[in-house]
Every structure is written in structure tokens, then in C-alpha cells.
């Protein structure tokens, strides 16, 4: 039984273990529950590109309860008010998008940390702190238990990567291939040779730093290749795009049969 309030996924990643990741964009507790029951280690609730809010986030986190899956969320933005509300739902990992400098990393750290380490507001009433039931159990452990990743999505982030990696409290780097490619002038084409060269440089630096390297994968073959290169967390199944792929595959099979 996973202990309440212990972020086992963070500990496992710190010990160089490889974990499975699933992506949640449907804002649905049903798909969150299905994927948690399937056995994923980490489930990322997307608040940047999905239409969810705090209530849908809360319901998805609740749907994972009792399973080993640790709830993570991609924040809408590097905003301390939004981050505070996300964490209060009981999320134990945070991916902050579009972080381009060391100062922006420090801002994110401040947002996830209670004083004196940061500016996160202290409250024992939200779900994360068990609605007032033994709240100190959560409050006294949260600063060290929250897993923090920032996204490398621009040439500016790549340029400042050494400074970003110098921040000890930062747990990992997430490479966002589509945004990085587009910001480099290769719209929606992360396979462009120039982009692949930059991704390889980012991978090398992150791996040398000892921080967790994470990203997405469009297939199991892509995920396996990333794990083999040293990634510790890869999100290789989504409750929207993966369903879309399976749906198209089945209708193509039907069409071929029925022609």
C-alpha cells in the first residue's frame, strides 16, 4: 500500500528508475480512473492545452485514489496563483511550461514552496491537506515532496540551459518537441535535422546534470528509444490522441472489410 503523502514516484525517479507516463487531456475522471487502474506510474493532467479547470483536476486526482499512479499536472502558466490552486487539489508533480531562464525556474520554485522557502499560501482546508484532517502531515512534507519539472520549448531555454540546470531544487527537464521545433522555425516538425540536433544537445546536458529527463512519445517504439537514451519518464499514452489513433485504425479496418 502506497503511504499517504509520500511521493513514491519522485523517490523512484531520484534513484534512476524508469517510470511509465500517461497523459490526461479529456478532463474526465473516467479516463483518469481507467489509466490509473491500467497501472501507469505517473498521470499528467494537462491544464495548458486541455479545457479543464480546478474542479475537473480535483475529480481526476480523486479518480486515481487507491492506485499507484501519482497525479502530476502541467500548469497553465508559471503563475503562483494558478500553481497554488493546482497543488491544493492534491497533485504531487508539476510541469511548468515555457520556462526560459534561471529566474523563471526560481519563480516556479517559490510558487510550489511554503514559506520560508517560497510564497505558496498555507491552508489546511484543501483536498491536498485532507480537508483539515491531520493537515500538518501534508503541510510539513509538501516542500520536499512536490516534483518540479520545467519545459524546454524555445531556443532561449536551450541557450540558458546550463543556468537552469544549476538550480538544485529543480528535479527535471521536460523536452517539448513540438513547441521547440516551431519556435526554431520548423512548424510542427520536431523531426527536422536541426531540431533533432538541438534535442540531442539538451538530452546530453540534462543527463550529465543528473536531473530527470522527460518527454512525450508517439508510440511505444519511440518511448523505448527514449528510455534507452536515458529518459526516466516518458508519456506514451494519451486519453485523447491515443484513443483517436485506435478509433481511426478500427474504422480503417472496417472500411477495408466492408468495401
**Active-site annotation holder among 4, 49, 191, 248:** 49
pLDDT tens series, the chain, 259 aa: 345 667 999 999 999 999 999 999 999 999 999 999 999 999 999 999 999 999 999 999 999 999 999 999 999 999 999 999 999 999 999 999 999 999 999 999 999 999 999 999 999 999 999 999 999 999 999 999 999 999 999 999 999 999 999 999 999 999 999 999 999 999 999 999 999 999 999 999 999 999 999 999 999 999 999 999 999 999 999 999 999 999 999 999 999 999 9
Q: With residue 161 as reference, give the H or E element that holds it.
A: helix 161-165
Predicted local confidence at residue 257, as pLDDT: 98
Residues in the chain: 259
* First and final C-alpha spacing in the chain: 52
Contact 154, 100 (CB under 8 A): yes
- Report helix, strand or coil for 113: coil
Contact 54, 86 (CB under 8 A): yes
Model's pTM, two decimal places?
A: 0.96
Q: How many whole angstroms separate alpha carbon 55 and alpha carbon 168?
A: 33
Active site residue 49: yes
Predicted local confidence at residue 5, as pLDDT: 60
Predicted local confidence at residue 6, as pLDDT: 79
Fold of the 8-258 domain: TIM Barrel (3.20.20)
Predicted local confidence at residue 4, as pLDDT: 60
Domain boundaries, the chain: 8-258
CA-based nearest residue to 146, from 170, 129, 126, 164 = 170
Predicted local confidence at residue 1, as pLDDT: 35
Residues in Cβ contact with 47 at an 8 Å cutoff, skipping those fewer than 6 apart:
57, 73, 74, 75, 76, 82, 86
Predicted local confidence at residue 254, as pLDDT: 97
Amino acid at each position: 500500500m502506497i503511504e499517504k503523502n509520500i511521493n513514491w514516484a519522485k523517490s523512484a525517479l531520484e534513484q534512476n528508475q524508469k517510470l511509465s507516463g500517461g497523459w490526461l487531456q479529456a478532463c474526465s475522471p473516467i479516463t483518469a480512473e481507467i489509466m490509473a487502474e491500467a497501472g501507469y506510474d505517473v498521470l499528467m493532467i494537462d491544464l495548458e492545452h486541455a479545457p479543464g479547470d480546478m474542479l475537473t483536476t480535483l475529480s481526476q486526482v480523486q479518480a486515481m485514489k487507491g492506485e499507484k499512479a501519482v497525479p502530476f499536472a502541467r500548469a497553465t502558466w508559471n503563475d503562483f496563483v494558478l500553481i497554488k490552486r493546482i497543488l491544493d487539489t492534491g497533485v504531487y508533480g508539476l510541469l511548468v511550461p515555457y520556462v526560459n531562464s534561471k529566474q523563471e525556474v526560481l519563480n516556479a520554485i517559490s510558487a510550489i514552496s511554503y514559506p520560508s522557502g517560497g510564497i505558496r499560501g498555507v491552508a489546511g482546508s484543501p483536498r491536498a491537506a485532507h480537508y483539515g484532517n491531520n493537515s500538518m502531515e501534508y503541510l510539513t512534507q509538501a516542500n520536499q515532496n512536490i516534483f518540479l519539472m520545467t519545459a524546454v520549448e524555445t531556443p532561449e531555454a536551450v541557450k540558458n540551459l546550463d543556468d537552469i540546470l544549476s538550480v538544485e531544487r529543480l528535479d527535471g527537464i521536460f523536452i517539448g518537441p513540438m513547441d521547440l521545433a516551431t519556435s526554431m522555425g520548423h512548424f510542427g516538425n520536431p523531426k527536422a535535422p536541426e531540431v533533432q540536433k538541438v534535442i540531442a544537445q539538451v538530452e546530453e546536458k540534462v543527463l550529465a546534470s543528473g536531473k530527470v529527463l522527460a518527454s512525450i512519445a508517439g508510440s511505444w517504439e519511440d518511448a523505448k528509444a527514449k528510455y534507452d537514451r536515458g529518459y526516466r519518464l516518458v508519456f506514451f499514452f494519451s486519453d485523447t490522441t491515443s484513443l483517436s489513433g485506435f478509433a481511426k485504425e478500427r474504422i480503417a479496418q472496417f472500411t477495408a472489410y466492408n468495401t
